[in-house]
Amino acid sequence: MTSFEFGVYSLGERIPLADGQRLSSRGRIENIIQMGKWADQAGLDVFGIGEHHRGDFVTSSYAMILGAIARETKGIKLTSTLSVISTVDPVRLYEDMATLDLLANGRAEVFLGRGAFLDSFKLFGADVRQYDQLFEEKLELFSQLQEQDKVTWQGQFRPALKNAPIAPRPVQQKLPTWIGVGGSPESVERAARLGYKMALGVLGGTVDQFKPLTDLYWAVAKQYGHDLNQLQIAITGHSFVGETGYQTRKDFLLPYNRYQEYFAKERGFHFVQTKMSDLERQSAPEYMLAVGSSDELVEKILYQHEQLGQTRFMGQFDMGGMPLAKVEKAIDLLATDVAPKVRKALRI
């Protein structure tokens, strides 16, 4: 069995806080770098940054931030969570992540996906009506770049390549690659069919709602003859951990509602405030939202593993202006309390 991995990630949003002010872009980036250093020092397995191209995020050039973290860390894997491959040139993406791998001495990964926002389509001149075709073609090219130092390729959405040298090459023979999935069975089937690891982005709901997707992943991967021991499922999403369940949920509630309300209103959705009673109910193992004490998270992660078969947990701790000191404490608890207890229970 693959060792169970733990990590944290940031999307780098900087929404208005209680006083209406925003943290500066420089300050937000510095905080993300500090989080990466803490995660490494605490002994977590992976740290990630997601790509966004908006004025209320600071992670449009996430690979540069990961490169800064690479020079300040020693053991932690560094990944995109995720790279919006539909609107980026796969060659440019490969060059960036291969360079990150060189900076980190073989610790880079990449999550590929389509993202939660459509801003990059207009910014980079991609047609959102060709959503699926863009993803399929660019994923195919990225896969070929992994295999060959010189590439000959032709497609619909970028100029053809003829014996084009692809450099630099990473330290690793191939960059470990995951497909980020939000809940679409078609995306799950694609990841499994092509033999990619799958990162399941979870914003709420119950384990029962996600089990058909993970069952589909394992079934399709087996159907296509992939070695299941080489595949992984990661569960990623909003989460937080503290010493007691009540205090953790209390600390989480305000930043969580601030975050949810901001993006609901920005998208024109009706916002329903989460209450403390909602978080209490969702602390049960059968709910996906991972917010609570170390022991509550251990119980929840073990239950999810039994039902879904995931071997990686990645939490988004810093949303909605969560105080940095509390993020540091949560990172430490995840690494020094939650992770050892889960691994002991699984005997790995």
Q: How far is CA 6 from CA 229, 267, 335, 343, in A?
A: 18, 32, 7, 10
Average pLDDT over residues 114-137: 84
pLDDT value for 246: 97
User: Does the structure show a pLDDT above 70 at 120?
Assistant: yes
In this prediction, residue 164 carries a pLDDT of 98
Which tokens hold the place of 241? 């951990």
pLDDT in tens, 84-99: 999 999 999 999 999 9
pLDDT at 331: 98
User: Which residues are CB-contacts of 190 (< 8 A; sequence separation ≥ 6)?
Assistant: 136, 179
Q: pLDDT for 255-287, tens place per residue?
A: 999 999 999 988 888 899 999 999 999 999 999
Q: How many CB atoms lie within 10 A of CB 1?
A: 8
What value does the mean pLDDT take over residues 118-141?
Answer: 87
Q: Quick one: tokens of 162? A: 């003829």
Q: Pairing mode, if any, of strands 197-202 and 77-80?
A: unpaired
What confidence category does residue 302 fall into, taking pLDDT thresholds of 50, 70 and 90?
A: very high
What value, to the nearest 5°, has the Cα angle with vertex 104 and ends 100 and 108?
60
Beta-carbon contacts of residue 331 (< 8 Å; ≥ 6 apart): 8, 35, 38, 39, 42, 44, 317
User: So what's the pLDDT on residue 131?
Assistant: 81
Half-sphere exposure of 315 (CA within 13 A, CB side): 27
Distance from the first to the final alpha carbon of the chain: 8
The predicted structure's pLDDT at residue 238? 96
pLDDT of 147 > 90? The answer is: yes
Find the mean pLDDT for residues 128-156: 93
Predicted local distance difference test score (pLDDT) of residue 130 = 86
Average pLDDT score over the chain: 95
Cα 208 to Cα 182, 200, 202, 309, 331: the distances in Å are 15, 14, 13, 13, 28
Q: Compute the distance between CA of residue 137 and CA of residue 14 in angstroms, rounded to an integer.
A: 33
Report d(CA 305, CA 292) in Å as an integer: 18
We find that the CATH architecture of domain 5-346 is Alpha-Beta Barrel (3.20)
What confidence score (pLDDT) does residue 117 get? 75
Whether 178 shows a pLDDT value over 80: the answer reads yes
- pLDDT digit string, tens, across residues 44-80: 999 999 999 999 999 999 999 999 999 999 999 999 9
Whether 6 has a pLDDT exceeding 60, the answer reads yes
What percent of the chain clears pLDDT 70, i.e. is strictly above it? 99
Residue 312 has pLDDT above 80, yes or no: yes
- DSSP character at residue 116: S
- Decide: 125 and 88 in contact? Cβ < 8 Å: no
Average pLDDT over residues 165-178: 97
Reduced DSSP (H G I as helix, E B as strand, rest coil) percent helix, strand, coil of the chain, to 5: 50, 20, 35
The string over 218-229, giving b where at least 16 C-beta atoms fall within 10 Å of a residue's C-beta and e elsewhere, is bebbeeeebeee
pTM of the complete model beyond 0.75: yes
Mean pLDDT over residues 123-147, rounded?
91
**Which stretches of 65-171 are assigned E, i.e. beta strand?**
77-80, 83-84, 108-113, 150-153, 161-165
Whether the predicted pLDDT of 1 surpasses 60: no
